[in-house]
Amino acid sequence: MIQGLGLVIMLLMAATGTYGYLTWTPGTAMPPVTHTLFDVHSTLANLVWGYVIVHVGATVLHELLGHRLLRRMAPWRDSPAAG
């Protein structure tokens, strides 16, 4: 559920940023809708930072509690060179 929430937030952030980029010409007045979407985009950017910080913090907490999630997720875990 947490990964899905992060994905939705990042998708909305990408959509609002793309729309703003495509509808605003630098050096001209920004349309009110574009200005509002950039405000939404900025708010979503702060949410993404919070999401990343909490997500990394949860991973560190799991490691400290002995769940060893990072070792199970490691891409080199199944390689023959890993020994």
SS3 percent helix, strand, coil of the chain, rounded to 5, is 75, 0, 25
| pLDDT of the residue at 73 | 75
Mean pLDDT of the region 60-76: 82
Number of domains in the chain: 1
- In the prediction, which pLDDT does 31 show? 86
pLDDT confidence band for 46 (50 / 70 / 90):
very high
The reply to whether 79 falls in a domain is: no
Is 83 inside any structural domain? no
pLDDT at 24: 85
Q: Using CA atoms, how far apart are residues 59 and 34, in angstroms rounded to an integer?
A: 37
Which amino acid is residue 10, in one-letter code? Answer: M
Would 24 be classed as within a structural domain?
yes
| pLDDT on residue 81 | 56
Q: What is the mean pLDDT of residues 61-81?
A: 76
Q: Is the model's pTM score more than 0.85? A: no
Q: Is residue 20 part of a domain?
A: yes
Question: Which range marks the domain in which residue 42 is found?
Answer: 2-74
Q: How far apart, in whole angstroms, are the C-alpha atoms of residue 77 and residue 9?
A: 30
